[in-house]
Amino acid sequence: MADSKSSAPEPTHVHPALPLFGGELSKWEAVKARDTLIYQMGYGNEFATEAVKDALPKLGNTPLRAPHGLYAEQVSGTSFTTPRVHNRKVWMYKVRPSAAHAPMRPYTKNPRFFNDFNDSTSEINPNQLRWKPFPIPSADEAVVDFIDGVMTLGGAGCPAAKAGCAVHIYTCNASMAETRRAFCNSDGDLLIVPQQTPLLLRTELGKLRVAPGEFVVVPRGIKFAVDLEDAETGACPARAPARGYICEVYDSHFVIPDLGPIGANGLANPRHFAAPVAAFEDVEYPAPAADATEADASAFHLVQKFVGKLFAAPLQSSPFDVVAWTGNYTPFKYDLAAFNTVNSVSYDHLDPSIFTVLTAQTTSPGVAACDFVVFPPRFAVQDNTFRPPYYHRNCMTEFMGNIQGQYDAKPEGFVPGSASLHSCMMGHGPDADTYAKFSNEKTAPQGPVLMNKNDLAFMFESTYIFKLSKWANAPESQQTEYYRCWAGLKSEYEAESK
Ligand code: FE2
């Protein structure tokens, strides 16, 4: 790709100093430090970027002829009439318009990637669930790229009605540069959380490098490809064992939450969100044979998810041919180390909504299709307080993943690359050993304690009640003894208060 040179800012060192991250989390700093890509900083800004000088029209969006003979193409992320404060759109100036492609046909290589949760695709399970670390396909077994490596874990709703949420896992070993494909999701935003192996996303709007400890959002309809980076050597594209989590929302877009009484500052700072600069390639591919299939490695395919099913079409030119663009509908990434954590400094364990990084709202105020919540390194200082999460039942569904280390309420079992699910109104909370330690004044930490220095877990919290894909509901995928972690919780009731 030709990178933006003319109007771009200086190379951006995106990630800030990391006073709290330690252990395995700090190893990704070397990966982030060698990211020499240029970014445009700021959440939701109205950006303008061109990889070739004067490729953006000077005044309007649709001149008689766009500069350099480019095609003007708008991608509307919200309806035309959405109020200006929420309106999202981008004008692209492309070598070829994206309408030019062969008909799409059903793509059958990965039936485990879907998001229309009905009785034929999904099952229900009310129990507290925890999965084993999701296995990564061996490079000796098969070449698996991001598209074929997605496994839908569960979700709810229907993308046709633009209401619902899905959680997917990806495990893969090959770059899409190798498999010659690009992906586009018609059904909603994708929030991608790498857990193992850094990613290079080539998108229509430019490139983003995303290491574990960071995440990236690709909004509905923006085409992209996922390449893998060798964490040790930096080689990219590479064959590497990659794993991560994806949340997909159909209702709305992921946005930074309002802060209410917290004030004008705190949580995720808008200045730390990074959008790409224009980068393009002008590449033509040979016309596919009349009988070419989706598996034809000689053709370049665009795979598109549309109302829960995958389709593919061979392309005769690169979809990454946007020479310049302007707008506020962009992929963006964020380094979780930059999160400005807010918490109680007097007493009590507060609700985890204080750790919300992004939210995608339903039409009901304050009710999220998905809140993305992180449990970062932080100081705990509460006095006379049971500091781990409290026992509770929630009208929301809680899916948790672990990027690195231990989660404070579950030191055992909830290992990196695994996941748990606590569904609507199903009781959960700390395991018996954690309760015993943190409720005993002799063993409970007192005073300021730096916690989770080496750990990074997160939660997708949704108002929707998830159904599970069949593989996710299969006992062989799960830690079926999970429920026993609460078995040691005995009555400590005493009729006479001490
Ligand atoms: Fe919970």
**What's the average model confidence in pLDDT over 378-400?**
96
**How many whole angstroms separate alpha carbon 23 and alpha carbon 63?**
54
Cβ atoms 83, 77 nearer than 8 A: no
DSSP output for 455-497: -EEEEEEESSPPEEEHHHHSGGGB-TTGGGGGTT------SS-
Task: Give the containing element (helix H, strand E) for 177.
Answer: helix 176-179
Cα–chain-centroid distance for residue 32?
17
- Residue 370 pLDDT: 98
Å from CA of 175 to ligand 1 middle: 36
- C-alpha–C-alpha distance, residues 240 and 223, integer Å: 23
Question: Is the model's pLDDT at 473 over the cut of 80?
Answer: yes
- 359, pLDDT greater than 70: yes
CA–centroid distance, residue 382 to ligand 1 (Å): 19
Find the DSSP H helices in 16-160: 23-33, 146-149
b (16+ CB within 10 A) / e for 355-394: bbbbbbbbeeeeebbbbbbbbbbbebbbeebbbbbeeeeb
Residue type, 54: D
187 Cα–ligand 1 center, Å: 28
Summarised one tens digit per residue, pLDDT across range 186-209 is 999 999 999 999 999 999 999 999
Domains of the chain: 4-120+132-335 (2.60.120.10), 336-480 (2.60.120.10)
Q: What is the pLDDT of residues 77-132, one digit of tens each?
A: 999 999 999 999 999 999 999 998 889 999 999 999 999 898 888 999 999 999 99
Q: What is the mean pLDDT of residues 411-437?
A: 92
Going by the DSSP 8-state scheme, the letter that residue 338 receives in this structure is G
Please give the structure tokens belonging to residue 204.
């229509």
Question: Which pLDDT band, with edges at 50, 70 and 90, does 461 fall under?
Answer: very high
pLDDT attached to residue 8:
45
CA dihedral over 81, 82, 85, 89, signed as positive or negative? negative
- What's the pLDDT at 6? 43
pLDDT value of position 341: 95
Q: Output the CA–CA distances (angstroms, integers) from residue 321 to 51, 59, 90, 398, in the order listed.
A: 10, 22, 15, 39
With b meaning 16 or more CB within 10 Å and e meaning fewer, what string describes 106-125? ebeebebbbbbbeeebbeeb
For residue 304, pLDDT beyond 80: yes
Q: Which helix (H) or strand (E) holds 179?
A: helix 176-179
What confidence score (pLDDT) does residue 358 get?
98
Confidence of residue 16 (pLDDT cuts 50, 70, 90): low
317 pLDDT above the threshold of 70? yes
Q: What is the percent of the chain where pLDDT is above 90?
A: 82
Q: Which residues, including other chains, have CB under 8 Å from residue 470's CB and lie 6 or more apart?
A: 121, 122, 123
How many helices (H) does the chain have, and how many strands (E)?
A: 5, 31
Q: What is the mean pLDDT of residues 414-420?
A: 94
How many angstroms does the Cα of residue 401 sit away from the middle of ligand 1?
Answer: 13
From CA 320, how far away is CA 280, in angstroms rounded? 5
Tell me the three state secondary structure of residue 422: strand
pTM for the model stands at: 0.95
Confidence band, pLDDT 50/70/90 cuts, at residue 223: very high
Q: How far apart are CA 229 and CA 336, in angstroms?
A: 20
Q: pLDDT tens, 34-88? A: 899 999 999 999 999 999 999 999 999 999 999 999 999 999 999 999 999 999 9
- Render pLDDT for 233-262 as a digit per residue (tens, 0 to 9): 999 999 999 999 999 999 999 999 999 999
Give the per-residue pLDDT at 351.
Answer: 96
Residue 4 binned pLDDT confidence (cut-offs 50, 70, 90): very low
Using the mean position of ligand 1's atoms as its centre, give its distance from the Cα of residue 220 in Å: 29
* Structural contact between residues 323 and 70, judged by C-beta atoms closer than 8 angstroms: yes
Cis previous bond, 237, omega within 30: yes
The CA 421 to ligand 1 mean position distance, Å, reads 9
Residue 400 CA to ligand 1 centre (angstroms): 9
Give distance in angstroms: CA of 423 to centre of ligand 1.
9
At residue 410, the pLDDT reads 67
220 and 186 Cβ atoms separated by less than 8 Å: yes
Residues catalogued as catalytic:
349
| Confidence band of 290 (pLDDT split at 50, 70, 90) | low
Residue 346 CA, ligand 1 centroid: distance in Å: 22
Q: Are 325 and 266 in contact (CB under 8 A)?
A: no
Share above pLDDT 70 across residues of the chain, in percent, rounded to a whole number: 93
Q: How confident is the model at residue 28 (pLDDT cuts 50, 70, 90)?
A: confident
Q: If you measure from the C-alpha of residue 420 to the centroid of ligand 1, how many angstroms do you get, rounded to a whole number? A: 10
Whether the Cβ atoms of residue 477 and residue 125 lie closer than 8 Å to each other: no
Query: pLDDT value at position 411?
Result: 65
Output the CA 429–ligand 1 centroid distance in Å. 6
